[in-house]
Amino acid sequence: MGVKRLFLWAAFALAAALAGFAVAGSAAARPIALAGATCAGGADSAEAAFGIADARLDCGAGRFNRRDRFVRGRIDLSKIGHLHPGQLVWQTDPTAFDSMLIRLDYADGSQRLVDVDSQMAVRNWDANGNFWVPIQQEASALTAIDVVVERPQSAAVFLRMQLSSHGEAAGRNYSRILLYMLICGTLLVPIVYDLLFYRVLRARFMIWHLGMTVGTLLYVLFNSGLIMVIWPDIPSRLRFAALFFAMSVTVLCMAQFSLQVLEEGLISRPLRRALLWSAAVNLVLAGLLFLDLEVLRMRLLPLYLLSVLPVIAALVAVLAAALLQKSRAATFLAAAYAGLIVAGAAQVFASLGLFELSETVDEAVYVALVILVVGSSARVGDRFLIIKGERDRARITARKLGAMANSDGLTGLLNRRAFDQNRRLTTGKALLVADIDRFKTINDSFGHQRGDAVLCHAARVIEKVVAEHGGGQVFRLGGEEFAVLFSAGGSDSMEALAEAIRRAIEESADAASAYDMPEITISVGGVMGEGQLMHVAFSDADDALYRAKDGGRNRCEFAAS
């Protein structure tokens, strides 16, 4: 699957998710939000909380941000209009708490009490990250719902309360499960790509992108409630803390990935530090959620949400600085990050109570996260191709430079440097050392230019003979001296190649004369490999060569085994 197919798959997944969210929202009436009709109070016990007179409950802004051990929210159903007929479902965010009591008040004065422990909130999960409690409507009308929560960690448990009909909630839950599974499947594709790319090109930015994608996947699993399928007995407090920690990991990896993948020299050191430190502070605050410190209860989550804003500001500044310098990478990142920056800021402001929380904001965050991962994957693919091209060109250049360093500039044969890289003459190999006879006389009589032509002519003849006899390496060791390193089954093979080279040089007189070159002959010395060091083998072959010279030239001699 190529990068283009990744885009097609992601586009299909996004379109399906958007269409699914739209259908889920229009197929049935939206749930009835209860936060606006809820007043709050606090006490040291559940009995005392239920005993607070209705007139003493706080109905103003910030009424849910209470640090009492037991916080009560009373919902006056007369303020919300007509209820759905039939069985109802009360839903809210399963933000970490120790226990919860729900009291239902009816018009005839009767009451019903529902005991909700933290694990019930996990078991009765909803695909939007909420949990639900069945609310049975009696013959007498339901007039009020009282919710008392012990040690709530966040005001979201009250802000996200809503009522739905049972059938509507079940249908929405089923469709959203499919949608969230589709989103998770989409996020798995970049993870596979990162792993495959990293095997080819071990660049650090791929590790950060992989961490960002894994963090996003975990966030979707925890926030949507799909983690209950994998881990049905997960403690509610762990799920609560892990949700924000996964988002912080995503944010930190996104910051590191951005700085790694942007071109060097575009971002100033203070701006880099601002982005990394703000992301690190956000991660530390998320880690504190695991500790459940009483002194930070109801305070830590607002601090965590506020810590997201400096990260967003620093990230926007980094992208702006890079875009002003016409960064190619920043163009990819701006397109990938824009949705999450807007949706993330909206969710932070909504969670802080600046405007009403809604499912639309949650849905926008999910879609923005997929765009973030897939869009940044496009930059990973683009960067991968650029680096791979640069690396391939560097390798080709290195090979060329290596070949030039090991090649003789005149004849094109391997040079003495290449020959010296052979440390031993192993068994089954043979070494021939050849020297053009009376070459100094040729230089003195015909000039060095004609001498260079003789050397090139001899090099081509030796190369051709070696190739015809099964191949091997041909070296020019310097001056008029050549060497051949080749595989030989025995001394007969070695002697046959040596004689073939000598005879070919002698018989090449006609070809040489056509180029106005003098006739030449060559003397050859050889040695069979027995695992000896190369300098020892060369010395033996060189001695054999000089015996050939002393014996009258234009002949072959070989070292004794």
- The verdict on whether 480 is a catalytic residue reads yes
Residues 6+ apart with CB under 8 A from 445: 518
At 89, list the tokens. Answer: 């479902």
Q: Are 271 and 326 in contact (CB under 8 A)?
A: no
Nearest C-alpha neighbor of 80 from the set 32, 43, 11, 117: 32
At 51, list the tokens. Answer: 């005993």
What's the rounded Cα separation, in Å, for the pair 272 and 249?
A: 18
What's the rounded Cα separation, in Å, for the pair 518 and 451?
A: 9
The amino acid occupying position 160 is R
Q: What angle do CA 486, 488, 489 make, to 5 degrees?
A: 160
At 275, list the tokens. Answer: 């982005």
Q: Which residues pair with 473 in a beta bridge?
A: 485
Strand 473-478 to 532-533 pairing: unpaired
Written as one string, the DSSP assignment of 353-417 is TSS---HHHHHHHHHHHHHHHHHHHHHHHHHHHHHHHHHHHHHHHHHHHHHHHTB-TTT-SB-HH
Written as one string, the DSSP assignment of 131-169 is EEEEE---SSPEEEEEEEEES-S-THHHHT-EEEEHHHH
Strand 429-436 to 70-76 pairing: unpaired
In this structure, what are the phi and psi dihedrals at residue 187, rounded to the nearest 5 degrees?
-70, -20
Q: How far is CA 277 from CA 50, 286, 308, 544, in A?
A: 45, 14, 12, 74
Residue 275 burial class via C-beta count within 10 angstroms: exposed 0-12, middle 13-18, buried 19 and up:
buried
Q: Among the options 480, 495, 506, 519, which is catalytic?
A: 480
As a whole number of Å, the end-to-end CA separation of the chain is 60
Q: Are 165 and 84 in contact (CB under 8 A)?
A: yes
What's the rounded Cα separation, in Å, for the pair 517 and 439?
A: 12
What's the rounded Cα separation, in Å, for the pair 468 and 317?
A: 68
What's the rounded Cα separation, in Å, for the pair 94 and 129?
A: 8
What's the rounded Cα separation, in Å, for the pair 248 and 282?
A: 6
The amino acid occupying position 468 is E
Q: What element of type H or E holds 434?
A: strand 429-436
Residues recognised as catalytic: 480
